[in-house]
Amino acid sequence: MIEYKPHLIAENLSYLLLVWFFVISVFGGIKDFAVSCCLCILWLIYCWIFTFNLFDPLSYIELTNKIILIDGSFALACAMLLKLSPTALKHSLLLCFATLCHIMIILSLKTKSYGFFYLWYDELIILVGLLQMVISYNGFTKALHRIQGLLRGRNVDSNCANKGLFAQKTGKAKT
């Protein structure tokens, strides 16, 4: 019989999102830097928690309470970065929605009324992760473009125009 592990999907998704936001924070643009660093730290904390089983002796409700605190604090951190990044509000609202999902799952477990949030909890958490990827897609493509430019030995400026580092000098036109 297969043992049900409640946060298995969130664990696997956290590794993907850690890499996603790490690439954006290292190679992305300056507008995406603050929020992607904040979210990279969030997913690093989740990976650290899941890898080392830090909350293993806790019950499911206690673990979800800790996750509520983490998601809520990073939603607040993203809300503080509104002037620095255009996507900060969207990420903050998504983390607030994830916090709401966690709160509703605890309420449904304590009252033993299994409703919408209990039935769709895993899918809602996956949806939050995928929507974070969709929101930061432009930053990720910019980061991939910069990585591609670095691998080709080119310098990528802010207008996305490639200028070769090893470009040959052109001769003067003959008159």
Does 5 score more than 60 pLDDT?
A: no
Say if strands 162-164 and 154-156 run parallel, antiparallel, or are unpaired.
antiparallel
pTM value surpassing 0.85: no
Does residue 107 carry a pLDDT above 80?
A: yes
Question: What pLDDT shows up at residue 128?
Answer: 93
Composition of the chain by helix, strand, coil, percent to 5 = 70, 5, 25
Asked if residues 143 and 156 have their Cβ atoms less than 8 Å apart, the reply is no
Per-domain residue ranges of the chain:
8-147
Residue 12 tokens read as 């696997």
- Give the pLDDT of residue 155: 58
Query: For residue 133, what are its two tokens?
Result: 């990827």
Residues 23-46: pLDDT tens digits?
999 999 899 999 999 999 999 998
Q: Which residues pair with 163 in a beta bridge?
A: 155
111-151 residue pLDDT tens? 887 777 778 888 888 899 999 999 999 999 999 999 998 89
